[in-house]
Structure formats: C-alpha cells, structure tokens
A and B are shown apart, each in its own frame.
Chain A
Amino acid sequence: MLRLELRGEMSRSMIYWSPIYAVILTFIAGMIMFAILGVDPVAAILTFFIEPLNSMDGVAELFVKATPLVLIAIGLSFGFQANVWNIGAEGQLTIGALAGGSVALLFFNVDSPLLMPGMIIAGILGGMAWAAIPAFLKTKYGTNEILTSLMLTYVGLLVLSYLIHGPWKDPEGQNFPESRLFHDAAIIPIILEETRLHFGWIITLFGVAVAWVVMTRHMIGFQIRVIGMAPMAASFAGFKEKHIIWLTLMISGGAAGLAGMIEVSGPIGQIVPVISPGYGFTAIIVAFLGRLHPVGCLFAGLLMALTYLGGDNAQIEMNLPNAVTGVFQGMLLFFLLASDVLVRYRIRFGKATALVAPAAATPPMAIDEEGV
C-alpha cells in the first residue's frame, strides 16, 4: 500500500524549486510522448520551445500572448492567496472585452485621445461587474465562488454570442458574426514597429510592479496573506473576511476584464466569436506555477505563452495536432502539483506503521478530547 507521510520541516527553497522541477519533468514527459508518436523528440522540443523565439517577431508574439496570461494571473493570485477561488476569469475577460468594445463601437466615429482610457476603464468595470456576482452570492448567501464564477463563464460566452449574432453585428460584414473593425483611436498603440507588440505589455509590466508592492508592502496585501495563511488570526486582528472576498474578486475580475479589453483592442481589433483561447483558465496554471507571486507569474506567463506559440509552430512545421498545447499545459500543472505534494509529504510503502512511529503519522489535532 502507498501512503503519504507528512515531512517534518518543509524546505523553504523547495517551494521555489518545485516549478523548475515541474518544467524539467514536463520536457522529459513531452519527449517521451513525441517518441511514442513517432516524432523525433529532440526536433519536436526544439520546434516547440526554441524555434518560436528565433526572431524578433517571435519574441514580440511571446509578449503579446503573455500579456493576458500574466495580467489575469496576478489578479487571480490575490484571490488565491486569500483562499478566494475565482475560476471564472475567462468569463470576466469576455465581459471586460465586451464592455471595452462597447465603448469603441458606441463612439466608432469619435477620434478622441480619451477614447482609449475610456475603453480601459470600461473593460476593468466590466470584468469587475461579472466578478461582483460571485462576490455578492458568496458574502450574502455563502455560495461557493468556484461554482458560480465558473458557471458565469458560460453565461458570459453566451452574452458575447448573442451580441455578435444580433445587435453588434457589423452592418457591412456580409452577415458574419463579427462586430465592425475598431477604428484607429480604439486600437491599442503598437510599441515595436512591424510586430504586434502593443502597449498592453507595458500595462502588464506595470501591473506586476504594482501587485508586488501591494502584496508585500501594503495593508491590503498583508490582510490577504494573513487571511490565506491563518483565517483565525485574521479575525483576531479584526480583518473583515467579507471585505477581502469583495476586494480580491474585484482585483481579479478587473484584471481579467482589462486583459479581455486589451485583446479585442489589440491583436484582434474587433469583437469576434472567440476572443480568448482559454487565457482565463490557463492563467490559473500560470498563477500557481508562479507561486502566486507577481514576478513568478511573469515568468510562468511567458512559459505558458511559449506553449501556445510552440503548439502553433509544431502544427505548422511537424503536422502535430494543436492539442499538443493543451497536453503540455496539463502536464505542467500535473507535475507542479505532484512536486508540491512531494515537497510536503514523503511516500511510504507498506502498511501504516503507527505503532512504530506515531509521532510523524498522527497530526496533533487527533488529541481532540471533545469534552470527555
């Protein structure tokens, strides 16, 4: 029989090593997978992870793809640290994109420098509004935010579908379910000539810095960390849990909404039936891979973006199915979770040996006398 046994002292540095182990294991498992598929593993890995970065354009694309991932992941990190599990960033991204896009469409003939800030604010508010529903339900009725936020994702996608099939359909679009193309003032500026790299990347980097400061130096971050690590200590200190639930859902919803707005105003340039290839979900992996730390999320987001680019590249160059991207992302999360478990626990074979080593096997909680 296999058993997991709590390790006495957890190694602090291992917390940061385990993502790196996860990446290495993913590479190895990926190569085995390619070998089984009858593809040269080394060539496949090179095509997947190295080739996309061979050109300036490739690096710019990496940043473009990383922008929504990092932005959403740092937002989610706030919630995850406080044990508020917003799984519906994809829906908040969608509504944020619609809200930001609505400003662009509403003022499609206005050429004002205020348009872009207006779209940004609308995008953030849209994401927040969508996240406010789970926040309200959780604080008022104690519903589980995992379920509500996830289910609202599908509602959000239906709202998108309704709008582009109906009221927002481009009148000159030959009946395609797409909005009109955004005009120049509603397109986020390009920051590197001849690439698609846009100002959203700067916003993201700025977001990383702000999140870092708030998390480590500000009372908000302090409260979030205390609530996540020791909820009783938070109530002892007088931190209000409901405030934190609202705050973290507003931060993560707002970040996702902003990411969605940046997508439609940047690389896409209009509202289309598929705004995101699952950035909102992938960002959950990014957040955990990045140890819920803003800088960690930055690196993890870049790595995750690379799996998207690599997947595209492998599809074109080697005729591999696009599902390879999902497989890599899944493996990465699996190995990360497995490494985390092994950092905390060791595996023991054979039957429980409580008689020999009760100290290690029994948590102290077991001496619950319950008034006897």
Chain B
Amino acid sequence: MTEQTPRLELEGITKAYPGVIANNNVSMKIMPGEIHALLGENGAGKSTLVKFIYGVQKADSGTLKWQGEEMVIANPNAARKLGIGMVFQHFSLFDAMTVEENIAIGISPELAAGDLKQRIRDVSQQYGLPLDPTRYVHSLSVGERQRIEVVRCLLQDPKLLIMDEPTSVLTPQEVDELFKTLRHLSEEGVSILYISHKLQEIKDLCHFATIMRMGEVVDDCIPAEESPRSMAEMMMGANLVSPEKPGKAEPGAAHLVVSNLSLASSHQHGVDLKNVNLEVRTGEILGIAGIAGNGQMELMEVLSGEMLVDDQNAVMIGNAPVGKSGPGIRRDAGMGFVPEERLGHGAVPEMSLWENAFLSGSKSMNLMSKGFININGSVDYAQNVVSEFNVKTPGVEHAANSLSGGNLQKFIFGREILQSPGVIVALQPTWGVDAGSAAFIRQSLLDLAAKGAAVLVISQDLEELFEVSDRISVICEGELSAPRPAEECTVEEIGLLMAGISHEKEAAHA
C-alpha cells in the first residue's frame, strides 16, 4: 500500500495558559476515512487541541498541515471552508425556530439558498439521520437535535468531522444509529476525530486512538487490539502506586449519612444525582473517585447546603437532619467544607486573611458580639491558622489572593480544621497545589480523622484517594458505587468504574 497523504497532520502544537500548559508539543495524524479517537481524562488538553484545529484558538507554536499543505486556520469560518465540520457537545440551536431555519443560520448564505428543505431531506435519508426540516426544535429529542448539528455539517461536504463527546447525551439505541452514520461517512472517505473518554465506544468504533494526559500525547493504539482496561491505564498513567497506610483505630458510628438522594442539577449541562447513598463514619476517610463532570460538584453542593433537597432526612449530620438547611445550620451542626475553587468560593480574593478567617469561623470561633466583628479575635484566629498550618504569608492583613495556591489551600484547610468539625467535606483538596502543600494537607486530613472526625474527600486524583481513604466509592454520571475498603481495590478496578464500564467487568468475571 502506498503511503497516503494525511488529511490532517499536527506537529508540535503547544499552547500555554497562565500557569498551565494545555498542550505540550502535541503531534498527530488523521488519515482520510479514518475514525480517530482522541482519548484522555478531563483537563488532558483535548478541548484546547480541538479548538485549535477548528480555528477557535491560536497555538503558541507548532504547525498544522491540511492535506499535506501547511496552513493557519484563522477562525471557524476558514475551517468550514476547508471542509472541517464540528459537532459540539453542547448544541447551539434556537428552540423557537424550525430545523431548516436553524440549519440555514449556521451555514453560508450561498449554501442556504435554493431548496434547502429538499437537501436536508436528501442528506438525512442518505446517512440514516431521520429529520423533518419543518419541525420546531423545542419539540425534538436530544438525539434529534444532535442530528441537526450533524446534518448541518454534512451539508457542507466535510472532509473532517470533529465530534466532541457525541454520545454523552444519547440513548444506547441512538448511539448505535450514530455509529452507523459515522461508519458510512468513513467509508466515503470522511475523516472523523472522535473525542471521548468512553472506552467501550472507542473500541467499537475507532480505527486509531491518540491518548493525551496533562497536555501531552502519552500513547497511541489501535483500539480494536486493546481492552477498555488497557486503554484506561494508558489514559490515567500506570504509575500509580498504592502507599502503605498506617494502622488505624476501628471507625465509629456513621456521622454523615446521605440516603436516597436524587437531585436535578441546577447547572446548565450539569449532572443529575441519582439515588445517592453514602455513609461516613467517625474516624474514617471516605474517598469518592470519578472523572470530572460526573456529579461531583452537585454532590458537594448538596453536602454543603448550597443546594437544598426536599427531604430533610436525606442528609444527616450525626442525629441532625439537614437536607433542607443551608450552610449556616450545617456549620452549627459541626460540618466544615473545603470547596474546589479556592479564590471566590472558599475565600474572598480581595479580603484579608483575617476577614477570610472570620468568613467561616464567625460563629464557631465566637468572633462576633452583638453582630459586631471581633477584629482582635479574628486576627488571633487567623494567626493561629497561619502558624499551625505553616502558611507562608507576611501577615494576616494581606489579601487572600496574594497567597500562592498551596498556601491559600493550607489556610482554608486550617481555618476549617481549627474549628474542630465533626465532619469535613473536601472537593479536590489538592487540585493545583504544590507537592509539599499537598502532602501537608493529606496529612492533616489523616490526623483529623484519627481524632475522630468523619472525613469525605471527593477527588479526581486516584493516587491521593488511595493515600488517604479507608474506603473508596466511585461517582459516574451522578450515580455512586458502593464503597469498598481501599486496601482491597486496585487502581484498575476504580479506573473501570470511573469510566462507567463496571458491567463489562462483571460480565468478564462471571
């Protein structure tokens, strides 16, 4: 076979944001007619790379070759002219308009002219995408809406179709139909860049996979020759070593209990929580693993009381039912929280450290008298936090945003821990924190549990979870798996649960 010219070739693409290298020297090739998977965890840099290909964002360095010719794609319009179509994860459709009108807005006027209705019908028939151009979008299912986006791309006669997590919104049957269409397109020579972290799908559909981690291409493979498990390992990195755990006292009674909790997410494109049950006992650390965007944020909000549920008994702190009670009452019941976002959520960026200490400690540390702020008391408390948690700052009168990420996170943890909470919930406790601070924070969580607090850690960092947790659950698409003792589970098992392929595994074992 002679060597074909790749449809798209990337070489050494690098893109840095302040503080993060989103893409580091990324190279890949997509051949004509190839269905090429771009695989990686959240934050691996897939999105940045795709934005570059589609002309939404510029790279700092690196070259792009389109059918062997080096060029710069200045904007999505230019990309469309070349024959690059993209179906976004989140659709951009107008509910109050018909299918035809929605398609007409998204394409060039020349293309929209003439008998667009008929062409929509033709394309939809040809590729098995049943779609009535006269229907209004609000009356369509999510799967049908996605078809609009696909048809819109196909009308433009694409040579490369980018699909961003296309199946996250589809039913299994719709997925099958979509795959038929994609295979059909591939046979006609259209290249498809397929972005996903669903391993089984990639194994079923894709010819080739490029695997990214932390902004770099770490591996590639032919999915048909791999198992979901081996691809999961490549995606997460197999360098995870379970650390030795110090012996601990038996955990006590359940102190934080969530029962039968279901909740529709308040966020656009959020994940609904589905019948979540969990129990954190005094003296233990429960870790919740999961790929980002699987309901962690929603779970955190429900636990902190920033999002309330209808059933007061759905969340219990000790003997106190708090499902309908806000953060203030939960704090009074002895709960401490460390949200994911340090600046703007866990702390007010422009306020001084002592004011930020007052923020959550006003009541439990008795820093208020008749509604007036006890400034001296707050300053003392903040100074305690700074000295006991090794926070590097010239003084507590400095603003929170003057601290480095690690130091601020230590301050926030210290502020919560010094209030001696009976239960503490932390989301991504060491996200973006330097290694030294991360180790310190993990140690203080272990110490807190040893003193008898119930600790819940929600994290994407498996290494961290294995280091601190007594038991581990996995959250996937809003559902929480049953917890298992950490020493009994392997990284691979947790990884499979995170990728939502527990059933395949069970079947394999049976």
Tell me the A residues contacting B by CB distance below 8 Å.
Answer: 217-220, 222, 225-226, 229-230, 232-233, 235-238, 240, 354-355, 358-359, 362, 364, 366-372
Contact = CB atoms under 8 A, between A and B. Distances in A.
Interface in B331-369: 331, 337, 339, 341, 343-351, 355, 358-360, 362, 368
A236 B22 contact: no
A232 B372 contact: no
Contacts of A362: 17-18
B371 A219 contact: yes
Interface stretch (B46-54, B105-113, B463-471): B46-54
Contact of B305 (A222, A238, A364, A366): A238
B89 A371 contact: yes
A364 to B, nearest CB: 6
Contact of A220 (B330, B351, B371): B371
B48 A367 contact: yes
A358 B348 CA distance: 26
Contact of B328 (A229, A238, A358, A369): A238
Contacts of A367: 17, 20, 22, 48
A258 B235 CA distance: 66
B60 A232 contact: no
Contact of B372 (A218, A238, A240): A218
B43 interface: yes
B58 interface: yes
B327 A364 contact: no
Q: Which of A220, A370, A372 has the most CB of B within 10 A?
A: A372
Given A220-B371, A369-B47, A233 B358 contact: no
B195 A372 contact: yes
B42 interface: yes
Nearest to A231: B344
Contacts of B292: 369, 371
Given A218-B373, A364-B18, A355 B168 contact: no
B373 A222 contact: yes
B58 to A, nearest CB: 6
Contacts of A354: 58
- Give the 9 A-B residue pairs with the shortest CB-CB distance, closest first: A238-B328, A238-B327, A371-B293, A372-B47, A232-B345, A230-B348, A230-B344, A359-B18, A369-B47
B503 interface: no
Contacts of B168: 371
Nearest to B361: A237
B269 A225 contact: no
B345 A233 contact: yes
B306 A236 contact: yes
A28 to B, nearest CB: 32
B371 A236 contact: no
A152 B348 CA distance: 34
Contact of B349 (A230, A237, A359): A230
Interface of B: 15-20, 22, 42-43, 46-48, 50, 57-58, 60, 89-90, 164-165, 168, 195, 269, 292-293, 304-306, 326-331, 337, 339, 341, 343-351, 355, 358-360, 362, 368, 371-373, 375
Given A222-B355, A232-B341, A237 B16 contact: no
Q: Which of B17, B168, B346 has the most CB of A within 10 A?
A: B17
17 contacts: A217-B373, A222-B355, A229-B350, A232-B344, A233-B346, A233-B348, A236-B360, A364-B17, A366-B17, A367-B17, A369-B292, A370-B47, A370-B293, A371-B42, A371-B168, A372-B46, A372-B89
Given A229-B350, A233-B344, A238-B305, 5 more contacts: A226-B348, A229-B349, A238-B330, A367-B22, A370-B269
A37 to B, nearest CB: 44
Q: Which of A237, A359, A368 has the most CB of B within 10 A?
A: A237
Nearest to B46: A372
Nearest to A371: B293
Contact of A222 (B17, B19, B358): B358
A236 B351 CA distance: 15
A230 B19 CA distance: 22
Nearest to B331: A238
A238 B306 CA distance: 8
B43 A236 contact: no
Contact of A355 (B58, B165, B326, B341): B58
A364 B195 CA distance: 23
Contacts of A372: 42, 46-47, 50, 89, 164-165, 195
A222 B46 CA distance: 42
A109 B48 CA distance: 78
A233 B351 CA distance: 11
Q: Which of B328, B355, B372 has the most CB of A within 10 A?
A: B372
Contacts of B339: 232, 236
Contacts of B328: 237-238
Contacts of A219: 362, 368, 371-373
B209 to A, nearest CB: 15
A362 B19 CA distance: 11
Contacts of A222: 355, 358, 373
A366 B20 CA distance: 11
Contacts of B57: 366
A220 B17 CA distance: 38
A370 B345 contact: no
Contacts of A236: 304, 306, 327, 337, 339, 345-346, 359-360
Nearest to A356: B60
Given A236-B360, A237-B359, A371-B89, A226 B20 contact: no
B350 A218 contact: no
Nearest to B351: A229
B403 to A, nearest CB: 14
Given A229-B348, A371-B293, A240 B326 contact: yes
B372 A217 contact: yes
A368 B195 CA distance: 15
A364 B355 CA distance: 26
Contacts of A358: 15-17, 58, 60
Contacts of A355: 58, 60
A225 B345 CA distance: 14
Nearest to A360: B18
Q: Which of A232, A364, A371 has the most CB of B within 10 A?
A: A371
A83 to B, nearest CB: 14
A139 B371 CA distance: 24
Given A226-B351, A372-B50, A233 B359 contact: yes
A233 B347 contact: yes
Q: Which of B42, B328, B345, B359 has the most CB of A within 10 A?
A: B359
A235 B304 CA distance: 10
Nearest to B341: A232
A325 B463 CA distance: 67
A233 B327 CA distance: 11
Contact of A370 (B89, B346, B371): B89
Contacts of B89: 370-372
